[in-house]
Amino acid sequence: MKTDFGDIQLINRLSEGDKSALYQLYDKYSGALYGVILRMCRNETDAQDLLQETFVKIWLKIDSYDASKGRFYTWAYRIARNTTLNSLRNRSELIQNEDLSVYDTKAEIKTGQENVLLKGSLKKLEPHHQKAIALVYYRGYTHKEAHEVMGVPLGTFKSYIRQALIQLRKSYANEMLWLWCIFEIMV
């Protein structure tokens, strides 16, 4: 898998017990992981504790990371997701209701929780694609749980996810094209 070379060097240092390597990985990935955790638990205090717990686990378990099996972000994402889900289960706060309007409208978001709204290219997706991605990757639902929440067959839900990711890829490609054009104009 295509783990960034810089990441590999940091991971090697981390494996040797170099804490500064962990802090550099924190600088790079804490935002993305905090975005996942915060959207899953929707409580900033809890999310901050869980982010810290996630990086402590990364520090403790780095020897179990195998770069040949996937990117560091994917591995760290799974730790963050599982840590948050365990915390939510322990507090019996994982209520699988169908009120997922938080992903659809601002009206359901409490004041000060604007951070939990999806943004960027995700917002440009069709609502059902946006919701499918949000459920699986930002709420911690499994595919089987999420298709029931959305009220569509599992196969249909899987195609939502696939189509959403393809749309995202196109969107990112267009962004890259725009950036390239702007760069060319500036040059």
Of 24, 67, 71, 152, the residue at the interface with another protein (CB under 8 A) is 71
* Nearest CB to another protein, comparing residues 96 and 142: 142
Q: Show the binding pattern over residues 161-180: x = contacts another protein (CB under 8 A), - = does not.
A: xx--x--xx--x--------
How far is CA 83 from its chain centroid?
Answer: 13
Q: Which residues of 130-158 are buried (b: 16+ CB within 10 A; e: fewer)?
A: bbbbbbbbbbbbeeeebbbbbebeeeebb
Closer residue to another protein (CB): 88 or 161: 161
Distance in angstroms (rounded) separating the CA atoms of residues 44 and 34: 9
- Pick out residues in 82-141 that bind another protein (CB under 8 A): 82, 115, 118-122, 133, 136-138
By CB under 8 A, residue 36 contacts another protein: yes
Nearest distance in Å: CB 102, another protein:
14
Does 65 help bind another protein (rule: CB under 8 A)? no
Q: Return the structure tokens found at 166.
A: 């393809």
